Amino acid sequence: MIRRTILAAVLIAALGASGCSTVSNLNPFGKKDKGPAELAGEGQRISIIPADQLLEPAEALKGVDFALPPAETVTAWPLPGGNAEQAVGNVAAGANVSIAWRKSFGQGQKRGRYVTAPPVAADGKVFLMDADARVVAVDARSGSQIWRTATNPGDNKRDKLAFGGGMAYADGKLYVSSGYREVMQMDAKTGAVGWRTKTPESIHGAPNVSGGRVFVVSLDNTLMTFDAATGTPSWTYQALSETARILSASSPAISGDTVVAAFGSGELVALRASNGNDLWNEALSRASRTSALSEIRDIPGRPVIYQGDVFAVSHSGVFAATDLRTGQARWTLPVVGVTAPWPAGDVVYVVSKAGDVICASRENGQIYWIRNLNEGFKAKKKGGILGIGGQRQNKPVWSGPLLAGDKLLIVGQTGQMVALNAKTGEIAKRIEIKGASTLSPIAMGDTVYVVTEEADLIAIR
């Protein structure tokens, strides 16, 4: 437990560790890799990426156009990924990419506490969680606070793992997971708590809700389910144990009676949503290890279900498209990622930890274009004396994307939002949001919403 606490505290800085925009070996951090073993023993995983695979635009796709779905107005963003499958497509929002307003909604990031809960929005409200695990409802047009409810049960004030969690909205209720080892239901109009159920471990990821069930993954890699009406626990699924993981955490994706969950062990698992029966299991990880960071197999970004495929990217360096029905990998790319992919039309977008925005064919994984948002970044040292000692600055982490019309919107630790041309990857606009953000933007109506580490909500129209 102590090791896990330390890792959680330091890995927010590790997220910015550098990678390469062109990869010719299996190690995302640039060191030689000895190659995978022929057979994997217990607790090991065989690489599913060929050793000679490159991360670069395909010659055959130069100058080739692709189709994107038409932009549509979304009237609500009730779940962490927008909907149960966590695939929204193309939203008609934030057309001018300009800030309408910004409002503080509570306590920002501080020692041992982080703003990691993705916002959700419905019924004219945006629901947020600050670094002190207080859930706040604000008016979506003005940002004015409507209600605030603390989730701290009162007996866990010194719990060092009591950060994170998240929210999901369904049928007038808000379902909240908590680092304080609880799942609860609140009235979305008033914030009044309907039920609260204790869990064996902390929960750092947001829940998903579908078919009268609440689905959430706990810190010990257990997928738990609860009756949405009563909070009564239902079936559980235990993935492989993993002590090292990224600060942020994933939410399961649900399509019909299939739920797909991603775990800190690097496992991507599909189960029957009704009873938890195992359908398939895929390991998005590499066999060989050359550094402490590469030992982290976590899939911290949400898996996304889109037109019969599951898209997910791991910190271990595997970006995969998997057939939802069979669990067979359709293609893979050597991408180290910590946020959710964004499939739309003929392509899927993903942001790597190194700052590369990649546009790939949904059909075969061939790359149309790559844009490095950290191009020209020069690492500096903070502290030290006469250049000796001090802490080296890592490359900024970027979160997203959100496809809004013909633009990809991405936010980062630099305090900027970048709008890329969705077809070419060219930078169309940069705006200063004056606050680091590690949460992907969401949209409702004509507005895009961004949450910063300082617990500011920014409306972009």
pLDDT tens per residue, range 391-415: 666 899 999 999 999 999 999 999 9
> Cβ of 238: how many Cβ atoms within 10 Å?
12
Residue 108, token pair as written in the block: 């920002």
Query: What pLDDT, on the 0 to 100 scale, is given for residue 16?
Result: 39
- Average of per-residue pLDDT across 174-201: 96
For the CA atoms of 336, 20, 351, 460, what is the dihedral angle to 10 degrees? 140
Closest CA to 355 of 280, 416, 283: 416
Residues 211/273, Cβ–Cβ less than 8 Å: yes
Query: What pLDDT, on the 0 to 100 scale, is given for residue 374?
Result: 96
CA–CA distance, 6 with 116 (Å, rounded to integer): 17
Q: Which residue has the higher pLDDT, 306 or 393?
A: 306
Query: What pLDDT, on the 0 to 100 scale, is given for residue 286?
Result: 67
CA–CA distance, 425 with 427 (Å, rounded to integer): 6
Q: With bands split at pLDDT 50, 70 and 90, how would you rate the model's confidence at 278?
A: very high
CA–CA distance, 223 with 200 (Å, rounded to integer): 12
DSSP 333-356: E----SS--EEETTEEEEE-TTSE
Query: What pLDDT, on the 0 to 100 scale, is given for residue 35?
Result: 35
CA–CA distance, 195 with 23 (Å, rounded to integer): 49
Query: What pLDDT, on the 0 to 100 scale, is given for residue 242?
Result: 72
Handedness of CA 116, 443, 400, 394 (dihedral sign): negative
CA–CA distance, 274 with 207 (Å, rounded to integer): 16
CA–CA distance, 171 with 254 (Å, rounded to integer): 17
For the CA atoms of 20, 22, 28, 29, what is the dihedral angle to 10 degrees? -40
Distances (CA, A) of 277 to 208, 237, 269, 274: 18, 9, 11, 8
Of 125-134, 153-162, 213-222, 228-237, least confident by mean pLDDT is: 153-162
Ranges of each domain in the chain: 2-33+46-460
- Average of per-residue pLDDT across 359-378: 95
CA–CA distance, 304 with 309 (Å, rounded to integer): 8
| pLDDT over 80 (residue 48) | no
Q: 253-255 and 258-262: which strand pairing?
A: antiparallel
CA–CA distance, 209 with 382 (Å, rounded to integer): 44
For tokens 């995302």, name the residue: 28
Per-residue model confidence as pLDDT tens digits over 51-81: 557 799 999 999 999 999 999 999 999 999 9
| pLDDT over 60 (residue 41) | no
DSSP state of 295: G
| pLDDT over 70 (residue 449) | yes
| pLDDT over 80 (residue 344) | yes
Q: What single letter denotes the amino acid at residue 450?
A: V
Q: Which residue has the higher pLDDT, 18 or 418?
A: 418
Q: 398-404 and 442-444: which strand pairing?
A: unpaired
Residue 450, token pair as written in the block: 């961004």
Query: What pLDDT, on the 0 to 100 scale, is given for residue 9?
Result: 39
On the 0-12 / 13-18 / 19+ scale of CB atoms within 10 A, 88 is buried
CA–CA distance, 301 with 87 (Å, rounded to integer): 13
Q: Give the helix/strand (H/E) hosting 267.
A: strand 267-272
Query: What pLDDT, on the 0 to 100 scale, is given for residue 113?
Result: 84
In degrees and rounded to multiples of 5, residue 276 shows phi and psi of: 85, 10
Distances (CA, A) of 198 to 120, 201, 218, 264: 23, 9, 12, 22
Query: What pLDDT, on the 0 to 100 scale, is given for residue 378?
Result: 78
Q: Is 366 helix (H, G, I), strand (E, B) or coil?
A: coil
Closest CA to 110 of 61, 68, 162: 162
Q: With bands split at pLDDT 50, 70 and 90, how would you rate the model's confidence at 285?
A: confident
Residues 120/168, Cβ–Cβ less than 8 Å: yes
Q: Which residue has the higher pLDDT, 225 or 112?
A: 225
Q: What is the CATH number of domain 2-33+46-460?
A: 2.130.10.10
**Tally of CA atoms within 13 A in the half-sphere of 154 that contains its CB:** 1
Per-residue model confidence as pLDDT tens digits over 144-187: 999 999 998 765 555 656 778 999 999 999 999 999 999 999 99
- Average of per-residue pLDDT across 120-129: 98
